[in-house]
Every structure is written in C-alpha cells, then in structure tokens.
Amino acid sequence: MLKPISEIVGAKLVDWEDSQTIGEVTNWVIDPDRKKISALIVKLAGLWRGLSVVTTIDVVEYGPGMVIVRNANAVVTPGEVAGLPQLLKTKHHVIQSRVETQSGKLLGKVEDLLFETTDSTIQKLYIKPSGLSLLSLPDLVVGADKIARIEPRRIVVFDDAVGLAPGKLVSSEV
C-alpha cells in the first residue's frame, strides 16, 4: 500500500499486543543509498525524553493517524540499530529539499513523498516549483526510478526526468 510521508508525522505509535499508545511519530530517517525509510523517530509518552526510534521492519501496520508496532520492545535508541546514528547525522529528510537535474536545472522543492508501506521504499516525490521554476514548470511527480541521488537538503534527478507536458507524471512508471 502506498502512503504519503506527511500522514506519518504526528501519528500515534500504538502497541498491538496491549492496544496502548506508546508515543508519537515526530520524524523519519531515510537511507539515501537504498531510497528507503529506515526508521521513524518517536517521542515517547511519559517522562522519558531521550531520542527513540522504531525501525520500519518493526511496523506491523500503518493505520489512519497511527503506526502500529507488535509491542513496546520495538522502540529502541538509535545506537541499537546498525548505521542509524550516521543516517541521523546526515539529515536526509527529503521534505523541503531542493530538487534539481544532473545538469543543474532547479525544479523546486519536495512537498511530500509517497512510500510503499510493505518495504518502506520511496516510490514518488511530489515537487512544488520554486524560484524561476515557479513560472515555467507545473507541480511535478517524480518516480523513484528517476532519482539519481539523495543528498542532505538536495535531491538530484536524471536529466530525462523533466521536459514532459504539464500534468504528466515524470516517471517511467504510472
């Protein structure tokens, strides 16, 4: 099932076994090499205020306004997940990142992204034109197959990802 990442932030994190709210999803961590959401950052209910995460493999289901995990043991510190502290430092959050082509043409900024809930892979980027692009480009939808690389605060897409008529998807998949 496809889901916009904008629906995840602010969602309640729910323990499936006990039907209890554990906390709230405040952000996410992206693995830029795999074009995948690796973990969700969680603010726990109660007094514990340290940084906590849930890896996406521990998510049982994404419901309306909630993310369900099997039990509270799915919530861990970033240091307990291999490679996660480094991904947190590089801040590959994608939303509001600049999007440009390999040749340097600015397309705009990422407004939202769509991901597959079964494997957490990014499927599409929704791009809102900005600057001079605002006058010449419509809102764009770019498929993950057109993403050349994800960098901190910048997404680079292949040059052939642009140039279609307004209103068409900028992807080889529909």
CA distance 104 to 18: 51
pLDDT band of residue 91 (cuts 50, 70, 90) is confident
Domain membership of residue 173 (yes or no) is no
Based on the fold, state whether residues 22 and 83 are members of the same structural domain: yes
Tell me which residue range forms the domain holding 129.
98-161
CATH number for 41: 2.30.30.240
Q: Express as a percent the part of the chain with pLDDT over 70.
A: 87
- Span 10-30, pLDDT tens digits: 999 999 999 999 999 999 999
Q: How many CB atoms lie within 10 A of CB 60?
A: 15
pLDDT band of residue 168 (cuts 50, 70, 90) is very low
Based on the fold, state whether residues 71 and 133 are members of the same structural domain: no
pLDDT band of residue 86 (cuts 50, 70, 90) is confident
- Span 62-73, pLDDT tens digits: 999 999 999 999
C-alpha dihedral sign at 137, 142, 148, 154: positive
pLDDT of residue 90: 81
Which domain-ending residue is among 90, 113, 129? 90
Mean pLDDT over all residues of the chain?
87
- Domains held by the chain: number: 2
